[in-house]
Amino acid sequence: MACPAKFWEENVVPDAAEHGKNILIRLYKEDPAAQGFFSKYKDTPVSELGNNADVKEQGAVVVKALGELLKLKGQHESQLHAMAESHKNTYKIPVEYFPKIFKITDAYLHEKVGAVYAAIQAAMNVAFDQIADGLKTQYQTV
């Protein structure tokens, strides 16, 4: 069976900031309200985010955090609890944004890594769904 964590580590993490930046910018283009959750660049036009160091830094954080969750292969309840707690209570990010960013990540990886991603795409989407479902459950408890 294909291993999402291995794929992520080999194909996404080596350029975490760039991939993460591109995924976040796609999210902001698709849903401009999402950019408002990030005070460091919430007022910066999306067209100027490509060279923004804060977007790259946040993108790297997102990519690395997702990689850590993928390594846990579904055994991530305590990590999701902490993530739900911070994202809901501190950052005020609605849980609906997680499936949205996973959908964007799926499309981005399909475009960027093509055939390599095609071999892992189904397993990756299962992992994304598990994480999104786990976060939804955890959001109800925090």
pLDDT digits (tens, 9 = 90+) for 4-63: 999 999 999 999 999 999 999 999 999 999 999 999 999 999 999 999 999 999 999 999
Q: Whats the size of the chain, residue-wise? A: 142
Q: Decide yes or no: CATH 2.60.120.560 for domain 4-141.
A: no
pLDDT digits (tens, 9 = 90+) for 92-126: 999 999 999 999 999 999 999 989 999 999 999 99
Helix, strand, or coil (residue 94): coil
Q: How far is residue 69's CA from residue 72's CA, in Å, rounded to a whole number?
A: 5
**Dihedral sign for Cα atoms in the order 62, 64, 69, 73:** positive
CB 79 within 8 A of CB 135: no
pLDDT at 73 over 90: no
> What is the model's pTM?
0.94
Q: Which residue has the tokens 């925090």?
A: 142
